[in-house]
Structure 1
Amino acid sequence: MAGSMYESQDLYLDPSIKYWVLFPIMIVMFLVGILRHNITTILNEGQKMDLKDVKESLAVKYGRLFISNRNYLTESAFKMRKTYWYDAFNLGKYLKDPNATGNGDMLDPANMESTMTGMKKGFANMLPQYILMSWVSFFFAGFVIIKLPFYLPLGFKDMLQRGIDTANLDITWVSSLSWYFLNFFGLGGIFSLILGKNNSAGSAKDIAPQIQMAPNQKDRFNKMHKSLAEEVKITEHQWALEDIEDKILIKYGKKKPENKKTK
Structure 2
Amino acid sequence: MAELLLDSHIRVWVFLPIVVITFLVGIVRHYVSILISTQKKVELQQVQDSQAIIRARNLRENGKYIPKQSFLMRRHFFNNEEVGYFKTQKRNAVAQNPMTDPSMMTDMLKGNLINVVPMIMIGGWINWTFSGFVTTKVPFPLTLRFKSMLQRGIELVSLDASWVSSASWYFLNVFGLRSIYTLVLGENNAADQTQHIQEQMSGAAMAMPSDPKAAFKAEWEALELAEHQYGLKNIENELIGSVGLNYDNMYHQNNLIEPNNLM
Same fold (TM over 0.5): yes
Q: What is the rounded CA distance, in whole Å, between the counterparts of 1:142 and 1:63 in structure 2?
A: 61
> How far does the alpha carbon of each residue in 1:217-250 deviate from its partner, in whole angstroms, 9 at most, with x for none?
4553443333333333333444445566787899
RMSD over aligned Cα, in angstroms? Answer: 3.5
Q: Answer whether contact 2:93 2:212 (CA < 8 A) is retained.
A: no
Question: What is the one-letter code of the residue matched to 1:15?
Answer: S
Q: What is the rounded CA distance, in whole Å, between the counterparts of 1:61 and 1:122 in structure 2?
A: 34
Report the counterpart of residue 151 of structure 1 in structure 2. 141
User: Which is further off, 138-147 or 72-81?
Assistant: 72-81
* Residue 49 in structure 1 maps to residue 42 in structure 2: yes
Displacement, 1:69?
3.7
Question: Which of the numbers 212, 220, 245 marks the counterpart of 1:229?
Answer: 220
Equivalent pairs counted in the alignment come to 238
Residues 102/17 of structure 1: CA separation in 2 closer, same or farther (3 Å cut):
same
Residues 171/104 of structure 1: CA separation in 2 closer, same or farther (3 Å cut):
closer
> How far does the alpha carbon of each residue in 1:124-150 deviate from its partner, in whole angstroms, 9 at most, with x for none?
222222222222222223221012233
* Residue 194 in structure 1 maps to residue 187 in structure 2: no
Question: Which of the numbers 9, 31, 36 marks the counterpart of 2:24?
Answer: 31
Question: What is the one-letter code of the residue matched to 2:77?
Answer: Y
Question: Which of the numbers 132, 137, 142 marks the counterpart of 2:122?
Answer: 132
Report the counterpart of residue 160 of structure 2 in structure 1. 170
Question: Which of the numbers 89, 93, 96 marks the counterpart of 1:92?
Answer: 89
Question: What is the one-letter code of the residue matched to 2:116?
Answer: M
Please give the secondary structure, in 1, of the residue aligned with 2:8.
coil
Q: What is the rounded CA distance, in whole Å, between the counterparts of 2:49 and 2:142 in structure 1?
A: 49
Report the counterpart of residue 121 of structure 1 in structure 2. 111
Question: What is the one-letter code of the residue matched to 1:82?
Answer: R
Residues 226/149 of structure 1: CA separation in 2 closer, same or farther (3 Å cut):
same
Q: What is the rounded CA distance, in whole Å, between the counterparts of 1:24 and 1:136 in structure 2?
A: 10
Question: What is the one-letter code of the residue matched to 1:229?
Answer: W
Question: What is the one-letter code of the residue matched to 2:154?
Answer: I
* Residue 180 in structure 1 maps to residue 177 in structure 2: no
Residues 50/240 of structure 1: CA separation in 2 closer, same or farther (3 Å cut):
same
Residues 126/145 of structure 1: CA separation in 2 closer, same or farther (3 Å cut):
same
Displacement, 1:206?
0.9
| TM value normalised by structure 1 | 0.71
Q: For structure 2, which runs of at least 5 residues remain unmatched after alignment? A: 245-263
Question: What is the one-letter code of the residue matched to 2:166?
Answer: S
Which structure is richer in relative contact order (CA contacts within 8 A, separation 6 or more)?
Answer: 1
| TM value normalised by structure 2 | 0.71
**Identity percentage over the alignment?**
36
Larger Rg: 2
Q: What is the rounded CA distance, in whole Å, between the counterparts of 2:148 and 2:243 in structure 1?
A: 54
